[in-house]
A and B are shown apart, each in its own frame.
Chain A
Amino acid sequence: MKKHILTLTTTALLAFGITHAKADGEVVVYHWFEYMPQELIEKFTAETGIEVVMDTFDSNEAMLASLKAGGIGTYDVSVPGDYMVKIMANEGLLDTIADGELENKANIQTQWLDAGFDPGRQHSIPYQWGTTSFSVNRDDYTGDISTTDILFNPPEELSGKINMLDSQGEVMAMAAMHMGMEQCSNDRKKLQALNDMLEEAKTHWASFNSDTAKEVLVSGDASVGMIYSGFSAKGREEGANIEYAFPTQGFVAWMDNVVLLKDAPNRENALVFMDFLLEPENAAAVTNYARYAAGVDGVSDMLDEELRTLPEGNPPASAGPATFIEVCDEQTQAVYDQIWTNVKK
């Protein structure tokens, strides 16, 4: 739902950007909703004279569809998640950043410099990274929450009070961890079991919604909600007595990345924008706003004090492994798509 409100504001922003475009030009950004503080955009324009025109999306898949339907050539940069960077590169939607084109490339933390989804960072830079798991309202449930059973085989008092992300990739990844199987399986027995488990689990779920994942927890409409780590922290700060779970079976890790799109109309400005985001000060501003973590060195001194001890960002020793979503081949994916249809039919 938020996407619709944001579309309105985006339209307004677009109109604003067009009428006020200066000689220094603009950079057209295709970004997630509620993910970049307005002050930072203003700071960028003040420093560089480049206007930011922003359009927003609410899922990696929606962004991909929009780019494939003709968006390529109108946007300069976008902010896909890890697996989507790989997909977009495979689809030939990304431009290559030559060596030396980004002054601040050295600021990228070593562990993210050679990411599996973009070896050598040829197309992308880190934006923020975090995890996806679920949060539980502690007023409604006091038991152990460090298990994926809370989502897929919940205790009776939580049945019917669970909101799932309306996102196939994340639900399937968590379900695979719950079943102890690989993400892109070809084992028919396991796949059938996964399908049956999800169809059964669905009877315990109240709703699927990504945009209001935080709101349903804050309002108390849901007692359990699948959610991104930073969203959970924000929900807690808004007064919900929720705890972010780190299941022993594991949870989803993700990194959003700023990519240079093919046929970017303002390629130079796009590189300036990326360099700007690699400045520790600016990366810290995003982290302070979004409550995730930057993949940039030298940020820690500029973070809000409470971010250091944020429960959502500091998994306990009992936590299972954090796993990135995998990209399956076409034939394997077809089965997962069919399972998703079976869950939502």
Chain B
Amino acid sequence: MAISAPDGEPAVSNTYHKSRTWLLLPSWVVLGALSLVPAILMLVYSFLTKEFRGGVIWEFSLAAYDQFFFDRGLFGDDSPTLDWTYIAIFWRSFWQAGAATLLSLAIGFPTAYFIATRPVQTRAIWVFLITIPYWVNLLIRTVSMKFLLRDEGPLNLSLMAVGLIDSPLQIVNTNLAVQLGLFYSYLPFMVLPIYAAVERYDFSLSEAAADLYASKWVTLHRILLPVTKPGVIAGCILVFVPSLGSFLAPDLLGGAKNYMIGSLIEEQFKGNAGNWPFGAAASMILLTIVLVILIAFARQQSRLERGRV
């Protein structure tokens, strides 16, 4: 290297130092325009008065949050009690997304491990194979899933042909179908970060553990998992968060019988209710919950890191 950096710092860190602000500007603009501004807009809307059949009146109101947390009966004039309706919808969504995440992890981790342990020249092909189905539009994949799971679909027909079941399993329009749909939709988001982590894993660590008489389970539990944890966490977040707001799988595979967070919010904007402030409030509550979870996680993570050093 011609350029030698002082104090043993890598040379590259100073190269763009002066112009860093300018170089980062496009990212800031995109992030600001596409996520910060809409989020602030939602926050503002959630505190406005609803206009009949969609739209807002620019008057401060807490009605949207009141509707979320308090039940005032069918006619709106009972004394308020805690309303479990929307809390239950949120709980259902978290539960569905959590189940889909665990399923993805259970399948995704071994898959990623398998790919990372192939010879270097073939790994790219395996990764390629993982991504191929995802060139197809999400909607079409979700509909295909429905065709696979139908009462007279290939899954039920083949299970019946083998003689495992006598009558078709009712899978479509159940929670299981939603979980399978979410799992299939977001599986690569689990596989790829874990693969990146496992690929960097130094397998001589496993050998060392084996030399010290660690069982395979102990090696996995005490060595491999802690080292690849950042990849696992990234994968879980990437699957969990979009699953939480999904409405395609619940609508198509779950039969839209029970609201999920995504469909509840959609209904406020596109449905008969036309209650924009309530839709905005539900979005803000969701955003807050997700942020709190992520921040708590990040803090715990950094505390652990510091403890280790």
Interface, chain A (partner B; CB < 8 A): 1, 4-5, 8, 59, 61-62, 64-65, 68-69, 87, 91, 166-169, 188, 191-192, 195, 202, 205-209, 219-221, 330, 333-342, 344-345
Contact = CB atoms under 8 A, between A and B. Distances in A.
A163 B37 CA distance: 40
Interface centre among A8, A65, A195 (most CB of B within 10 A): A65
Interface centre among A68, A169, A188, A336 (most CB of B within 10 A): A68
B259 A338 contact: no
Given A168-B271, A345-B89, 20 more contacts: A1-B251, A64-B274, A69-B54, A91-B53, A188-B74, A192-B74, A195-B74, A205-B257, A206-B173, A220-B152, A336-B272, A337-B272, A338-B74, A338-B76, A340-B273, A341-B85, A342-B85, A344-B256, A344-B257, A344-B258
Nearest to A7: B139
Contacts, number: 97
B143 interface: yes
Contact of B88 (A59, A338, A340, A345): A345
Contacts of B126: none
Interface of B: 52-55, 74-76, 85, 88-89, 137, 139-140, 142-143, 150-152, 172-173, 248, 251-252, 255-259, 267, 269-275
Contacts of B257: 202, 205-208, 344
**8 pairs of A and B residues whose beta carbons are closest in the complex:** A207-B255, A168-B272, A208-B256, A62-B270, A4-B139, A330-B52, A68-B54, A337-B273
B151 A221 contact: yes
Given A61-B270, A206-B173, A345 B258 contact: yes
A206 to B, nearest CB: 5
B255 A340 contact: no
A344 B75 contact: no
A241 B36 CA distance: 53
B270 A59 contact: yes
The prevalent SS among residues of B at the interface is loop
A260 to B, nearest CB: 20
Contacts of B255: 206-209
Contacts of B256: 166, 207-209, 344
Given A209-B251, A345-B258, A340 B272 contact: yes
Interface centre among B55, B151, B270, B275 (most CB of A within 10 A): B270
Nearest to B86: A345
Contacts of A1: 139, 142-143, 248, 251-252
Interface centre among A64, A91, A337, A344 (most CB of B within 10 A): A344
A345 B139 contact: no
B274 A61 contact: yes
Contacts of B269: 65, 69
A225 to B, nearest CB: 12
A196 to B, nearest CB: 10
A61 B271 contact: yes
Contact of B55 (A68, A220, A333): A68
A219 B74 contact: no
B145 to A, nearest CB: 12
Contacts of A167: 272
A314 B271 CA distance: 31
A170 to B, nearest CB: 10
Contacts of B54: 61, 64-65, 68-69
